[in-house]
Amino acid sequence: MLLHVQRIAVPFEYPVYFTEGVFSPSNDDLASAVASREPGRRHRVLPVIDGGVAAAWPSLPEDIARYVGAHAARLSLVADPIVVPGGEAAKNDGAATAALQARLDALGMDRQSFVMIVGGGAVLDMAGYAAATVHRGVRVVRIPTTVLAQADSGVGVKNGINAFGKKNLLGTFAPPFAVIIDARFLETLPLRDKVAGMAEAVKVALIRDPPLFSWLTSQAPALASGELAPLAELVRRSAEIHLQHIASAGDPFELGSARPLDFGHWAAHKLESLTSHRLRHGEAVAIGIAIDTLYAAFAGLCSEATAAAVLTTLEALGFLLWDEALALTHPGGGRLCVLDGLTDFREHLGGELTVTLLEGVGRSREVHEMDERHIVAAIERLRERAARRGARAAAGAAGGAAGGARS
């Protein structure tokens, strides 16, 4: 007998600031974000900093202390910043998460205290997960410091860590209290990470925003060389599309199986595992986008011209669209290991396999099965393309060397 249907509606709201110099004492964004709900109170803030960021910005602990001092009516520092290892290592080591949870407890962090996470997507995911699980949720202010985290993960509602050999197996949906995107952090980001982060912008452009895709194509040389002004614009446009999608697509906590923002991700997640995270998330996503776009062309969903445009733009942005892990096969049968990514992806989504494929730039469709022969052909095409590019580069180098010898 059905007794009652319980209905709970909880609106979530979080501000996203775009700024420069978040810890400069005259910048009010952080203090006003933290104090937005209870302006009359002094709020406890605990900084957690990505080790890579701490190394690149050695004055950060002092800058934060000075900032909190300058805004002492609204902010107080719980302790010196906790520095955690940066990169995927943060998510692979469950002990690091447990250690952070223990610190949050030891420092008396309660549900109205703030963990202020400064870092790349991996540290935001790991520390966000720790904060979301202590007392079932301590407030989080995210200060993303990579292109990927500023353009995508840092403005979203997910966190998590890797476990049992699977990407993001443990995690929660937990909207942050506030997000502050400081363009200056990108000044110290290595070029490899600048490029990697652009994959998520290409992804949203392809499924949602044709003008952004044209812009990415036209700006590719400047972006590939890591120029900061176009990168800041890429971040802003990509973040806006992600925010709009989360707010308006009707499924912020991903209860259904459709997942357009995971375009290109079934192969990407598998490639990250197969390479033991030698490939960055963004690098794997670029390959995943290339596979699924070629697949769409082979399956007759989009034109060869669209596929060629996507691959050319990805390469112009600096991505390599081939990795030896694509050729790994299971012992015996010879089946490509990357194909297992489809099963993992279905499990991660729950329910039916749902893969987003392109019909054209800005137009996508969901499919519920994929023909492995087309996937294999797409991978083969990427291998041939990489071999041709390699041969051209070698010929160019030999030509250059010969030219040098003549002069």
Given the complex with ligand NAD, which of 140 and 148 has the nearer CB atom?
Answer: 148
Is there binding between residue 120 and ligand NAD (CB under 6 A)? Answer: yes
Q: In sequence order, what are the residues at sequence separation of 6 or more whose Cβ sits closer than 8 angstroms to the Cβ of residue 227? A: none
The distance of closest approach from Cβ of residue 131 to ligand NAD in the complex, given in angstroms and rounded to an integer, is 13
Q: Are 149 and 185 in contact (CB under 8 A)?
A: no
Start-to-end C-alpha separation, the chain: 91
The distance of closest approach from Cβ of residue 260 to ligand NAD in the complex, given in angstroms and rounded to an integer, is 13
Nearest-CA neighbor of 305 among 319, 321, 294? 294
Here's the x/- map for ligand NAD, 71-110, by CB under 6 A: it reads as ---------------xxx--x-------------------
In this chain, which stretch among 207-215, 225-233, 274-282, 322-330 interacts with ligand NAD, using CB under 6 A?
Answer: 274-282
Given the complex with ligand NAD, which of 71 and 208 has the nearer CB atom?
Answer: 208
Q: Which whole-number Å values give the CA distances from 189 to 161, 224, 227, 347, 382, in the listed order? A: 23, 13, 11, 34, 28
Segment 241 to 270, residues that bind ligand NAD, using CB under 6 A: none
Q: Are 381 and 294 in contact (CB under 8 A)?
A: yes
Is there binding between residue 202 and ligand NAD (CB under 6 A)? Answer: no
Q: Which whole-number Å values give the CA distances from 406 to 392, 393, 394, 398, 401, in the listed order? A: 21, 20, 18, 12, 9
Is there binding between residue 225 and ligand NAD (CB under 6 A)? Answer: no
C-beta neighbour count of 373 within 10 angstroms: 10
Is there binding between residue 51 and ligand NAD (CB under 6 A)? Answer: yes
Given the complex with ligand NAD, which of 132 and 309 has the nearer CB atom?
Answer: 132
Residue 284 CA to residue 279 CA, distance in Å, equals 6
Q: Are 189 and 146 in contact (CB under 8 A)?
A: yes
Q: Count of residues for the chain?
A: 407
Q: What angle do CA 54, 21, 241 make, to 5 degrees?
A: 95
The distance of closest approach from Cβ of residue 406 to ligand NAD in the complex, given in angstroms and rounded to an integer, is 42
Is there binding between residue 176 and ligand NAD (CB under 6 A)? Answer: no
Is there binding between residue 341 and ligand NAD (CB under 6 A)? Answer: no
Is there binding between residue 149 and ligand NAD (CB under 6 A)? Answer: yes
In this chain, which stretch among 121-129, 249-257, 349-357, 369-377 interacts with ligand NAD, using CB under 6 A?
Answer: 121-129
Given the complex with ligand NAD, which of 53 and 355 has the nearer CB atom?
Answer: 53
Given the complex with ligand NAD, which of 74 and 158 has the nearer CB atom?
Answer: 158
Q: Are 217 and 309 in contact (CB under 8 A)?
A: yes
Residue 157 CA to residue 159 CA, distance in Å, equals 7
Which residue has 């995508």 as its token pair?
152
**Residues contacting ligand NAD: total by CB under 6 A:** 33
The distance of closest approach from Cβ of residue 4 to ligand NAD in the complex, given in angstroms and rounded to an integer, is 35
C-beta neighbour count of 153 within 10 angstroms: 23
Side-chain half-sphere exposure of 250, counting CA atoms within 13 A: 3
Helices (H), 260-303: 265-274, 281-298
Please pick, from the candidates 46, 53, 131, 325, the single residue that binds ligand NAD as defined by CB under 6 A.
53
Is there binding between residue 170 and ligand NAD (CB under 6 A)? Answer: no
Is there binding between residue 142 and ligand NAD (CB under 6 A)? Answer: no
Contacts with ligand NAD, residue ranges (CB under 6 A): 50-53, 56, 86-88, 91, 119-123, 125, 145-146, 148-149, 152-153, 156, 158-159, 185, 188-189, 193, 196-197, 280-282
